[in-house]
Each structure stands twice: as structure tokens, then as C-alpha cells.
Amino acid sequence: MTGTTNSYILVTGGAGYIGSHTVVELINHGYNVVIVDNLSNSSYDAVSRVEYIVKKPVPFFNVDLRDSEKLGKVFEQYDISGVIHFAALKAVGESTHIPLKYYDNNVNGTIKLLETMAAHKVKTIVFSSSATVYGDVTRFKDMIPIPEHCPNDPTNPYGKTKYVIENILHDIYNADTTWKSAILRYFNPIGAHPSGLIGEDPLGIPNNLLPYLAQVAIGRREKLSIFGNDYDSHDGTPIRDYIHVVDLAKGHIAALEYLNNVTEGAGLFREWNLGTGKGSTVFDVYHAFCKAVGHELPYEVVGRRDGDVLDLTANATRANTELKWSAEKNIDDACRDLWKWTTDNPKGYAVAGYQWTTLAGTDGDYTSRVHTVTKDDLSVSFLNYGASIQKVEFKNQNLVCGLDTLDEYKSQDIYLGATVGRYANRIANGQFEINGETVKLDKNNGENSLHGGSNGFNKQNFLGPIVKRSADEENLILQFVLVDKAGANGFPGELIAAVEYTVGNDFVEVEYSATTDASGTPVNLTNHSYWNLAGNKSTIDGTQVKLATSKALEVDPNTLIPTGNVSTLDISNLDGKVDNCLIVRESSQINTSSESLVEVLEASHPDSTLVLRVETTEPSFQLYTGDYVDIPGKFGPRCGFCVEPGRLINAVNVEKWKQLVLLDNKSTYGSRTRYSFKLKN
């Protein structure tokens, strides 16, 4: 099976290092996935980045496996056909100090999981075991590379929990031979996803060789300690079987498919080693990583580490032949990918100056996250909902209208702070012609289609964000993405829309980009924040503005569609009603991002010391004084004004403007707008 049904694979520990990579591979192979993780050794950011990579939402539950009631609810809510069970505590050294915690979490957690599976008649499980169950294999003369039939003798509580769980699964199979259990014994997982978006994010001082070396390379640790160079290997350091985490992840798909192909009604209990079959010494790995980094890294040879043995290399023949799986990547690939992950995420998933929480009353609802970045005097908050701007606070003064709860956001229809798409502004009669055919759109504004239709981008949950620092470390960048399905609100073709916010110490810039699989589809993206510079006042009355242009599109007062004429509009304050499209420059490209920013508006209010400046690469902007706002108890008419840079109204139906908005599958749509803040001179 490659994900042909509506059933789900439950991934326990899916927010962790190996789990997150496996979820990506599962989804790439067409499986539906639901994740359960108590985040005891991981963060939700990993899940959010998995979603960004696969461009799909992935249901996630912050549940401890030992909480049978909550776990049972997940099984009730989803049609689960099989489980991949990663969730465990895994630090060998720690397990010798707190063995009970390890037995409770790993063994008891697995028992609760198995009970819940049995109660829901789910009998397929792929289990994360470890080469550690073999113990010190050098006690035998001829067991390296290690085959699956090598006797087990784990030497620490962690390894013993794996050994016990393997035995539990075997006993369950003996009692009911319709259970299907794949025991995967991993050797040394290393590396990261080639995108640099997910990887290993160890808490505290890393125990393992490569995570430690990566921290040396990034300057978080002084030097690597090499634990002994007096072993019987080509350079005196111990030999391990290092396997790229993406290869390892793919091994789980192979095992799952093997189980799914077991004869109907029959079961299976079988162990497979997942390794490359090739051993590398500590120095081999050290040199490979130095090569990836581009220079030598400091190290010191110290004494042997307790419990280390000369050689732990897998015999992976069984997995190669039965699962038809073998590792494809080598340690150079793993080191390159680890270095990308490390340089892109020097502190792992944490980013200084960034934090997220959830909107009021939605604890645990990860779709209602509020992402706040703080840079000197500026603090800006964003939502996944609509990739919206919720708050812009400069020198302690809030400058935009924002709401507190997701319900409030969902019930308003004024595009508050939201990304407007697929098509900002109006399309006359809700239709346009392409390739000689008429395409009909959702009409949500009288006869017209407005702001992308009744279920536009403002009502969608964007995926992400990926949060990082700019190359010069100065600014914070948040990237959201949305996959808008073909036919959504009537628009042809799938559209992948990316919204990237950059926050500096006195500005927030938004860059839009979009691609499609259609031969032609109209696109026009903008932001619909309601700005208010009057301090805490509920009205924008008194706001003074300087506009870069007085050229406005004349519109029919009834339909608000351009007549084709250009009128002159001199606006110096926002005391009257304004809802006009002002023309900044002639431009004839679908992608304006590479153009230079042009200042289109400066605004201030006598009651405040702050000035807002809006610059854009776009040919025009809609200026709107918020006269129709009505959010009872929150915001009324003229609570804020909108500056919406974009393409000219109804461009898709005007021959000379069409090329500004019609995107095809060979081009990328793009634009940039910057809102900056300063004190009055």
C-alpha cells in the first residue's frame, strides 16, 4: 500500500528526531499520518516544519502514551491502520541513574499503547528498537557484522527497555498470530533532512559524536573529546555503523509495506537491522564532517568511555533482501546535511527574539498560534490564520487593529490584518476569459468577486512559519506557505503561495511569491492591516497623510469597477471616506519583487509621535478608511485605515493590464511591501 486509503498511520514520538523524518517520508509515500508526542524531548516546531516540507497539515496530539484515555480518543477520531512507535526516552547514561523512569515511560508507555491498539483492533506495529539490545558483541568471536540472530544481552536500563518491549511484542504474537510486528534495530542514526528544516536538536550537552562535533563547529563547544585511540582499528578509534536518518526513515516505509503484504489473516513477528553494513571509525566521521564544514575542527584524544566497544557494524542483509531496502547515503552526505541543518538553525528549533503561544482560550490548538518577534523597540505578532499581522507595537504603541481569539477572527469578514488572496480587490462580474473560455468565480460582493471569494486566503490556515535570522543576523524572517487547491473559489489551477515577513528594528516587510500548475490563473496578493496612529483612540480621524501620487482609478460608483479613466485625487488627511486605487507606476511584470521599493504613503497623527511609511514594488495601492468595519464590542467604522499595494482593480479583465496578474506554470508571481516606523522629526 502506498497511501491509497483514508486510513492513518499513527506515529508515536513523531515530533522527535527520527520520527519527524519518518513522517515526511510517510507523507511523501502517500500515507496519512497522525502524530502523538508528549514533547518531553522535542517541540511542536518540528511538526510545524514537517508540515511546511510536505505542504500539508499533519494532525498532532500532545498526549503521553501512558494516558490511555487521551490516547483512546485519538484512536476514536482517526481510522488508524498501523502504528510506528518511536516514543521513548533514549539516553543511555541517564537510564542508569533513573531506571524506573525509563521502565515506566518506555515499557509502561508501550503497554498502554498496545492495550489501546488491541481495543481498537489495530494489530500492525513497527517498533524502534536498537542495536543496543545486542550488548557487547565482541564477547563472541564471529558476530561482526552483527546479524539479527546474535543473542541479546543489553548492558544498560535503556537497552533493557527495548529488549523487554521486543519480548512483549513477541509474546503478543505468540498469543494471537494475527499481530504484525516489525522490530527495527537501528545502528547509529546521523544527519538531517537535506532541506535543513528538520534535524536533531539535543537538549543540553550532546552525548553523541556528530551532534557534539556540530556544536564545536558552530562555536557552542570548545573541542571534541575523542574517547580513545588505542582500539584495534585502522586509526585506533572505535567502529560504528552510521546511517543517514532519511535512509533510516525510508526503512520504516519498507517495513510497513512488508507488513501490509503479509497474507490476509496471517501475522508476523520479525526483527530487522537497519544499518549500512559498513563501519566507520570516529576519525573517519571526524574527517568527513571537517570536509563538510571546510576546515579542521579542534579535538583532543582522551581516555576510553565506559561501556564503549571496538566495533558495532550491522549485517543488513536481511533488510536488504526481505524489505528490499538498503541505505543509499554515506557519511559525507550525512555530514553535509547536518552542517546545513546546523548553520541554518544554530540553536536548533529555538530562535532568539522569537516565541509563540496560542490565542486566548485555545490552549493546545496549534492552528491558533501567535508568533511574536521582538527587535529593539518593535514587536510584531503574526497568526497562521490568514498569515495575518495581529499586532505591531513600536515604542510601546500598538499600530494595528487586532483581535484576541480565533473565534473573533473567524467571525469577522473585514480581512483584519490578513493576507488577501488569491485575488485582492474586485473581479468584475466574478468572471474572466482565458484561452477563449469563461471562468466563473465565487461572487461574494454583489455581482463581483472580492478579495479571492468567500473562502479566500484570509480564512485559511497557513503552514509554518519557518523562523530564522537573516544572513547578516540582523533581522528575523518568518515564512508561511499555503497550498490553494485547484478550483478553490472557482480559480483554475493549484496555487502555492508563500508569505515571508522580515522584521527589522523599525520595519516589517512582506514578500509574496506564488507558483501554479495552471497554464494561466489570476493572482494578486496583499495585506489588509488596519493601521491606527492615534494612540489608543478608536478612530483614525485627524490622521495626516502624504501620498506619492494623486492619480486614481476612476470607478463606477455602483459596481466599484474602473471605468477606464484616471482621475486626480489630492488627499492630505483621512477625515473623509476614502476607498480608492491610486496608481504609483506603470509596470508590466507578474513579478515585481526585484524592483526597488518606492514610498507611496507617509502617515502620522497629531496625538502621537510616530510616523508610518509604506513602500512597495507594486504598481498601485488601494487606500481605504475602514468605513464599513463593524465588530461589535471591538472595532467600529474608521477604527483603522488600510494601505493595500497590489495590481490594478479588475486587471484580469482589461487587455493592457492582464499580464500583471495572469500567472502561468513557467513563472513566479512576486511583490514586496515594507511598513516602517519612525519618530516625528
Write out the residues near ligand UDP by the rule CB under 6 A. Answer: 188, 207-209, 212, 224-227, 238, 240, 282, 305, 308
Instruction: Identify which of residues 26 and 245 has a Cβ nearer to ligand UDP in the complex.
Output: 245
Q: Is 86 in the site for ligand NAD (CB under 6 A)?
A: yes
573, interface contact from ligand UDP, ligand NAD, none, CB < 5-8 Å by kind: none
Considering only 39, 92, 107, 597, the residue that binds ligand NAD (CB under 6 A) is: 39
Burial 34-67 (b: 16+ CB within 10 A, else e): bbbbbeebbebbbbbbbbbbbeeebbbbbbbbbe
Q: What residues contact residue 671 under an 8 Å CB cut-off, 6+ apart?
A: 511, 512, 525, 591, 592, 593, 616, 617, 618, 645, 646
Interaction between residue 130 and ligand NAD (CB under 6 A): yes
Closest C-alpha to 508, from 389, 407, 596:
389
Cell numbers 493592457 correspond to 656
Calpha distance 32→27 (Å, rounded): 6
Q: How far is the CB of 337 from ligand UDP (least distance, A)?
A: 17
Residue 511 contact partner, candidates ligand NAD, ligand UDP, none, CB within 5 to 8 A by sort of partner:
none
163 lies in the site for ligand NAD, by CB under 6 A: no
User: Using the rule CB under 6 A, is 62 a contact of ligand NAD?
Assistant: no
Measured CA distances, 38 to 44, 88, 166, 400, 638 (Å): 10, 10, 22, 36, 45
| Part in contact with ligand NAD (CB under 6 A); list of ranges 86-94, 392-400, 458-466, 489-497 | 86-94
Task: Choose among ligand NAD, ligand UDP, none what residue 130 binds, the Cβ cut-off being 5 to 8 Å by kind.
Answer: ligand NAD
CA distance 587 to 572: 26
Nearer to ligand NAD, 144 or 545 (CB): 144
86 binds, among ligand NAD, ligand UDP, none (CB under 5 to 8 A by kind): ligand NAD
Residue number with CB closer to ligand NAD (18 or 648) = 18
Residue choice 13, 199, 238, 646 for contact with ligand NAD (CB under 6 A): 13
The residue with its CB nearest to ligand NAD is 16
Determine, following the binding rule CB under 6 A, whether residue 475 of this chain makes contact with ligand NAD.
no
Residue 528 known to be catalytic: yes
CB atoms within 10 A of CB 321: 10
Q: Are 183 and 169 in contact (CB under 8 A)?
A: yes
CA–CA separation, 149 and 510 (whole Å): 58
In whole angstroms, the minimum distance from the beta carbon of 495 to ligand UDP comes to: 44
Which helix (H) or strand (E) covers residue 434, if one does?
A: strand 431-434
From 193, 252, 287, 528, the catalytic residue: 528
Closest separation between CB of residue 584 and ligand NAD, Å?
Answer: 49
DSSP letter assigned to residue 457:
G
Instruction: Give residues 168-197 in contact with ligand NAD (rule: CB under 6 A).
Output: 186, 189
Q: Distances in Å between the alpha carbon of 615 and those of 106, 543, 578, 589, 597?
A: 56, 18, 19, 18, 5
Cell triple for 7 = 486510513
Q: Which of 110, 116, 124, 128 binds ligand NAD (CB under 6 A)?
A: 128
Under DSSP, the state recorded for 88 is: -
From ligand NAD, ligand UDP, none, which one binds at residue 676 (CB under 5 to 8 Å depending on kind)?
Answer: none
Q: Contact with ligand NAD (CB under 6 A): which of 17, 231, 669, 677?
A: 17
* Contact indicator for 115, 65 with CB cutoff of 8 Å: no
Contacts to ligand NAD by CB under 6 A:
12-13, 15-19, 37-42, 64-66, 86-90, 105, 109, 128, 130, 186, 189
Looking at the annotation, which residues are catalytic? Answer: 528
